Amino acid sequence: DTEVTQTPKHLVMGMTNKKSLKCEQHMGHRAMYWYKQKAKKPPELMFVYSYEKLSINESVPSRFSPECPNSSLLNLHLHALQPEDSALYLCASSQGRGAGTDTQYFGPGTRLTVL
Amino acid sequence: AQSVTQLDSQVPVFEEAPVELRCNYSSSVSVYLFWYVQYPNQGLQLLLKYLSGSTLVKGINGFEAEFNKSQTSFHLRKPSVHISDTAEYFCAVSDPFGTGGSQGNLIFGKGTKLSVKP
């Protein structure tokens, strides 16, 4: 099973709402990633968790708050977002060997619209 | 710092024609190279990757790529495309010696939109 699942597929929220994106994998991977992808652009790395510890935060605003409850789950908590945060949010996972050879497996993404 | 340049933002091609999507990278150290495909409204899927060894790499769906160290290129090719190959293609590089926990993080090119016409 090489599947990464993400819920919900679509999310519309107001600027005062609090919502969460969820990601799950059962491949035994120990690295998990959040990316943001705007239309017609490549994915931009937001956060990396390695062995359930946050290892990289690419200067993401605090209105995005990641959480890794266990090795299979990754959440992204959203609060007080801006319309410019509307994008496709992709989750990915990899074995986590950290040597650069790992394949990252991507989920289908959550299409977020902030009104 | 590493970077990836995809020379063509869009490549239109007729069905059953050959195609080449170009990718050049900039790095002072050894790197690992990847091609990912993104179909409309989907996540990214690995097509192939170069880690070491043979410079000709074969991937899924009939794609292949050739690593050329002297030209710092990793161009993607398919001898005969199908309508179903219409998608966005991303070349990416990872740095095995990155600092600050960045080992293995992917640096993506801007993408090439392949449009296959009947």
pLDDT digit string, tens, across residues B53-99: 889 999 999 999 999 999 999 999 999 999 999 999 999 998 766 55
Name which of B25, B44, B47, B49 to mutate to probe chain A: the one with the most chain A Cβ atoms within 10 A of its Cβ: B44
Model pLDDT, residue A58: 80
Model pLDDT, residue A82: 95
Backbone CA torsion sign across B53, B56, B61, B62: negative
Model pLDDT, residue A110: 97
What residue of A is the nearest CA neighbor of B104?
A100
Residue A93 makes CB contacts below 8 A (sequence gap 6+) with: A4, A23, A25, A27, A29, A31, A32, A33, A74, A104, A105
pLDDT digit string, tens, across residues A37-57: 999 899 999 999 989 999 878
Burial of B46 (0-12, 13-18, 19+ CB in 10 A): middle
In A, which residues are within 8 Å of B113 by CB distance?
A: 40
More confident residue, B25 or A101: B25
Q: Is the pLDDT of residue B101 over 60?
A: no
Name which of B3, B105, B115 to mutate to probe chain A: the one with the most chain A Cβ atoms within 10 A of its Cβ: B105
The SS3 call for residue A26 is: coil
pLDDT digit string, tens, across residues A62-110: 999 999 999 999 999 999 999 999 999 999 999 887 677 888 999 999 9
Type of residue found at B15? E
> Nearest CB to A45: which of B90, B96, B105?
B105
Model pLDDT, residue A76: 97
